[in-house]
Amino acid sequence: MQKNRKKVLAILKVAPPLTGATAINQSIVDSQIKWPNGILDFKTISYANSIQDLGSLKWTKFLKFFTFFFSILFQIIREKIDLLYFQMSIYGASFYRDSTLLLVSKIFRKKVLVHLHGKGLKSYGERHAFYRFWIKWLLKDQSAIVLTESQKQDVLWIGFKEIFVIPNGIDYPKEMQKDWRVHHRDGPIRWLFLSNMLESKGIADALALALLLKKNDIPFHVDLIGKEGDYNSQRIGQFIHENELDCQMVYHGPRYGEEKWSAIVSSDVLVFPTYNEAFGIVAIEAMAMGIPVIAYKEGGLPEVIKPGINGVLVDKGDLDGLYAALVRFQQNPDEMQALGMGARQLFLSKFTSHTFITTLYATFDRVLAHKQ
């Protein structure tokens, strides 16, 4: 009976570096939930050691990839693989590297389910003719998973047989949650910036927002948590010192596990002014702790943040909009509490790891049911 069961080979990139995609991939590998209708085999790899290392060309990366490539090739030749589940890069040299695995699957006529975590494929394809041809040739009539409906619209041109929308889901410490009963209504509003210190993630806007609050004598405290990037600790420290924000702003560096969750639950609101986001893992991490989110209308965030339910959305680059939302929360703590409670409920209904994993496994079944 065992030999007749379907087999899925999952090819996943994991940390380092820690990104939304690698975190989700690791959660799939570590999940205690088993696929009930077949055998799920994992092949994992990490090419880069840090965010800054992404996209760099190093001989060690080439060696690691060729070793990985041939291990996949030999497994496909030796074993009966019914489906390749593949989280692939979608741009640049990394895309062409990963596309060699898709080429192998095409040669051996294997079903493929690609999991796409990025956005902007349509505009990128319009600018790069060979990329447009190559990705359509490799993936036409295969299946794909995207994170949001807006991302689905972005990949329709590729010609997938079927596109499944599965929002990311995360594990969370179930015993932790914001206790709004002990919220200090008369104190400064505590907001959190939780991302790598990159301009694309909005660190410059977060710093400018702090200055605007200080200029207008709004009591606040902000914690900056994440790895160094465009802004390192020295640059952030200099900004804090020059603008006399030593009592109001702290850069903690990266935080993981219990330290990260404690920082979230100690905050009143997450401010997420990102300029490049397909989904936004940090938004659902805040929601899991019962923390409302103020974010830019970017990528899939409008499908995660629902104004009046779990947060506030403002136009990208609208610093005044971020400021107005924080001041509103400062002056109306009951509204902030209601949005925090709504965030927790929305998270539990849509964004848990259990929901994500079980939906993923159901998608395996649907793809395998299709005729080749």
Residue 1 has pLDDT above 50, yes or no: no
With a pLDDT cut of 70, the percent of the chain lying above it is 94
Return the structure tokens found at 142.
């295969």
Residue 51 has a pLDDT of 55
Domains in the chain: boundaries: 2-171+352-369, 180-350
Give per-residue pLDDT as tens, 198-223.
999 999 999 999 999 999 999 999 99
Band (64; pLDDT cuts 50, 70, 90) = confident
CB 326 within 8 A of CB 220: yes
Cα 48 to chain centroid distance, Å, stands at 17
Domain formed by 2-171+352-369, architecture: 3-Layer(aba) Sandwich (3.40)
| Residue 153 pLDDT | 94
Tokens 């949001």 belong to which residue? 148
Q: In this structure, which CATH number among 3.40.50.720, 3.30.200.20, 3.40.190.10, 3.40.50.2000 belongs to the domain 180-350?
A: 3.40.50.2000
What percentage of residues in the chain have a pLDDT greater than 90?
76
Is-same-fold flag (2-171+352-369; 180-350)?
Answer: yes
At 57 the pLDDT is 59
Q: Could you read off the pLDDT of 95-139 as tens digits, one per residue?
A: 898 899 999 999 999 999 999 988 899 999 999 999 999 999 999
**Which tens digit of pLDDT belongs to each residue from 17-41?**
677 788 888 889 888 899 999 999 9
Statement: residue 336 has pLDDT above 70 = yes
Residues in the chain: 372
